[in-house]
Amino acid sequence: MTGEAISAIWLTLQLGVVTTVLLLAVSAPLAWWLAFSRSPFRLPVEVITTLPLVLPPTVLGFYLLILLGPAGPIGKWWVSATGDSLTFTFSGLVVASMVHTLPFVVQPMRQAFQDMGAAPLEEAATLGAGPVDRFFNIGLPLARRGLVTAAVLGFAHVLGEFGVVLMVGGNIPGQTKVVSITIYEGVETLDYATAHLLSAGLLVVSFAVLLAVFALNRRIPLGAGR
Amino acid sequence: MKTRPGMLNAAFSLARGGFTLDVDEQIELAGITALFGPNGSGKSLTLRTLAGLETPERGRITCNGETWLDAGKGLAVPAHRRPVAYVFQDARLFAHLSVERNLAFAEARARTGGPEVSRSDVIETFDIAGLLGRMPQGLSGGERQRVAMARALLSRPSLLLMDEPLAALDVQRRAQALNFIEQIPERFGVPVIYVTHQIDEVVRLATNMVLIAGGRIEAQGPAAELMARLDLPPFTGRFEAGSLIEAKVARHDERFALTVLELAPGTAIEVPYLDFPTGETVRLRIRARDVSLATVKPTGISLRNVLEARVEEVQAEPDTAFAEIRLSLVGQALRARISRASVHELELEPGKPVYALVKATALDRRLLTRR
């Protein structure tokens, strides 16, 4: 295996882990709010969080490029705060992946919170547990199946990203050149050996991850009783 | 309205999906207060509002001098800051925690200033020592409710709300669970508001009773007094008219398998043998239709319970042949349901002395409880 391929694999795994961890932290409260809020903003927010699912990655990538670019509102702030650019860097890739993968993490979590229902939370409240206490000690443990599903779907989705990554990150070895882009480049340059190797690798990893999740989900005792 | 300790002032209105609940009541918190009414009358909604799980658009709630809700000032103390615990119909044990950790959850969040309730107390009272290591999924309905009650008390509430906790249980388990519930106020010093639509549960448990129908509170007061009132049948219509009488077990007659219950010195009623020790106070419900009246003392009849009473109130049931009579029987209220023709013939009117004839065999054992 070439050094470039190994570096792409390593980078992809890093991106997957970092994005998934950050997304879980952001999505859990968001999914909680979507599941239980009676706010009139609930519906528009739900639509926004689902948009990345239906938009072509190029459209999403294009807008992200503009927002995150050194002239864009977020990019400008990032440059002044860290001295580094958000486009064509690993940090920018993480941000773009988070946006693109958001629905894959939020939806299963929201579903899990809804399946759990308000009943255990009401009970906890009448026992003196405040909102944060209820979220961490009742909500998260009872919805853990949904959390595991969300993490795995998110991770797998990040591994397979292509369009958004290409738009925002480009193709810088060791920085933004992930597996999917290396495969594309392999095909373009007729380096089928690398393309074969990485494609098969991605296939096997995806299969193994899903297998592990399904097996794990069976073993975790049901959260919400029954 | 001044709030005294042990007093709940609730005045609020709440609209939910076409149903309006209007409450304006001052309720004394002592022992067990039954919130009684038919399904869909707003009982649970009232309880949820007291707990802070529903926030009314208008109104004020104060309890023991603490303001829980003042909608005018935009104040609504959230559920977790009210010193209230709630036992739901479906127990709602936390499925991811063992029984022991369910108890620990409540204990860790116990209210300061609440009644002193210890883990060993509740484990003993509700007989759940053998369940501590189990997960909620493996428990029976009765076991779940016992754990739910123990857990609620461990959070040291100043008021315990119970929402038809026995509804999911079979007859035998209900009877057993009633024994546990009965002990709560005295053993733990926590007043209870108990929602039910089962009159036998009211008879068994309640000191006071609040009658609710169609989103309004129709009456409240001591349970025995309320059940004797003649103007309430439209609301209490789900159960047969009757009255609650308290009496002491005077003696047992082994030969004829009878037990003599004394209402007052010289006034006794005979009932089929009861397995209660002498001296014990029992409460019995006598159905209005099992009471007949006579203006002279009858002789030579098989009825053995002939009691001197006085007519307090006569109320004809419109469009029927019957009338309801409220009697005073050595200070206790007794209801009779007789034909309007008899009322006319016997010239029954308030103040008239009569003999009440009570059919002893008609006494409902289920409605006879220790006090």
Could A141 and B96 be called an inter-chain contact, meaning their C-beta atoms sit closer than 8 Å? yes
Q: How many domains does chain A have?
A: 1
Residue B2: inside a domain: no
In 3D, which of B81, B54, B57 has the Cα closest to residue B71?
A: B57
**Are residues B359 and B267 part of one domain?**
yes
Q: Is residue B16 part of a domain?
A: yes
Phi then psi for residue B152, to 5 deg, are: -60, -45
Name the residue range of residue A188's domain: 3-219
B205 lies in the same domain as B335:
no
Q: Are residues B43 and B146 in the same domain?
A: yes
Per-residue pLDDT of B295-323, as tens digits, reads 998 888 888 889 999 999 998 887 788 88
Interface contact A119-B155, CB threshold 8 A: no
Above 70 in pLDDT, residue B240? no
| Cβ atoms of residues B86 and B152 within 8 Å | yes
Shared domain check, B246 and B222: no
Token match 């169609």: residue?
B214
Binned at pLDDT 50, 70 and 90, residue B238 comes out as very low
pLDDT in tens, A125-145: 999 999 999 999 999 999 998
Q: Which domain holds residue B190?
A: 7-236
Residue B49 lies in a domain: yes
Residues B183 and B118 in one domain: yes
**B130 and B249 assigned to the same domain:** no
A40: contact with B, CB 8 A cutoff: no
* Residue B1 lies inside a defined structural domain of this protein: no
CA distance B332 to B223: 12
CB A93, CB A15: distance < 8 Å:
yes
Residue B249, strand partner residues: B261
For residues B262 and B291, state if they share a domain. yes
Domain endpoint, select from B203, B236, B269: B236
A194-224, pLDDT tens digit by residue? 899 999 988 998 888 888 878 877 765 544 3
Judging by DSSP bridges, how do beta strands B19-28 and B7-16 pair with one another? antiparallel
B270 within some domain: yes
Better-predicted residue by pLDDT, B5 or B172: B172
Q: What is the domain-level CATH number for residue B310?
A: 2.40.50.100
Contact by Cβ (8 Å): A188, A181: no
B138 touches chain A (CB under 8 A): no
Q: What contacts 24+ positions apart, CB below 8 Å, involve A170-177?
A: A170/A87, A170/A88, A172/A88, A173/A4, A173/A7, A173/A8, A174/A7, A174/A11, A175/A11, A175/A88, A175/A89, A175/A90, A176/A11, A176/A88, A176/A89, A176/A90, A176/A92, A176/A93, A177/A4, A177/A7, A177/A8, A177/A11
Query: How many C-beta neighbours within 10 Å does residue B118 have?
Result: 12
- Does residue B237 surpass a pLDDT of 60? no
Q: What is the pLDDT of residue A1?
A: 60
Asked if B246 and B204 sit in the same domain, the reply is no
Looking at residue B235, its pLDDT comes to: 56
Say yes or no: A117 contacts chain B, CB-CB below 8 A: no
Domain presence at residue B150: yes
Does A226 map to a domain? no
Find the helix or strand (DSSP H, E) in which A198 lies. helix A192-219
* Sheet with strand B19-28: strands edge to edge: B75-76, B66-70, B58-63, B7-16, B19-28, B216-222, B208-213, B32-36, B192-196, B159-163, B84-87
Q: Are residues B125 and B223 in the same domain?
A: yes
The enclosing domain of B22 has a CATH number of 3.40.50.300
Q: Would you state the pLDDT for residue A222?
A: 47
Residue A106 belongs to a domain: yes
Q: Is the Cβ pair B80, A128 closer than 8 Å? A: yes
Out of B236, B256, B285, pick the residue that ends a domain: B236
* Gap between the Cα atoms of B45 and B50, Å rounded: 9
Of the candidates B201, B236, B271, which is a domain's last residue? B236
Chain B residues with CB under 8 Å of A122 CB are 53, 79, 86, 88, 92
Residues B68 and B146 occupy one common structural domain = yes
Tell me which residue has tokens 């702030």.
Answer: A77
Measured CA to CA, the distance from residue B52 to residue B49 in angstroms comes to: 5
pLDDT digit string, tens, across residues B208-227: 999 998 899 988 888 878 87
The CATH number given to whatever domain includes residue A106 is: 1.10.3720.10
Residues of chain A with C-beta less than 8 angstroms from the C-beta of B68: none
pLDDT in tens, B53-103: 999 989 999 998 899 999 999 999 999 999 999 999 999 999 999 999 999
Tell me, yes or no, whether A225 lies in a domain.
Answer: no
How many domains does chain B divide into? 2
Q: How far is CA B245 from CA A147, B33, B160, in A?
A: 59, 18, 27
| B61 and B52 Cβ atoms separated by less than 8 Å | no
How far B145 CA sits from the closest chain A CA (Å)?
13
Say which residue the tokens 């003649």 belong to. B230
Is the pLDDT higher at A160 or at A46?
A46
Residue B368 has pLDDT above 70, yes or no: no
Q: Residue A167's Cα: distance from chain center in Å? A: 17
- Return the pLDDT at B8: 93
B295 located within any domain:
yes
The answer as to whether A224 is a domain residue is no
- Residue range A184-195: average pLDDT? 90
One domain for residues B75 and B177: yes
Kindly state whether residues B69 and B196 are assigned to the same domain: yes
Question: Which of the two residues, B347 and B361, has the higher pLDDT score?
Answer: B347
Q: Which of B52, B95, B109 sits opposite A129 (nearest CB)?
A: B109
pLDDT at B1 over 80: no
- Residue B107 CB neighbours (<10 A): 18
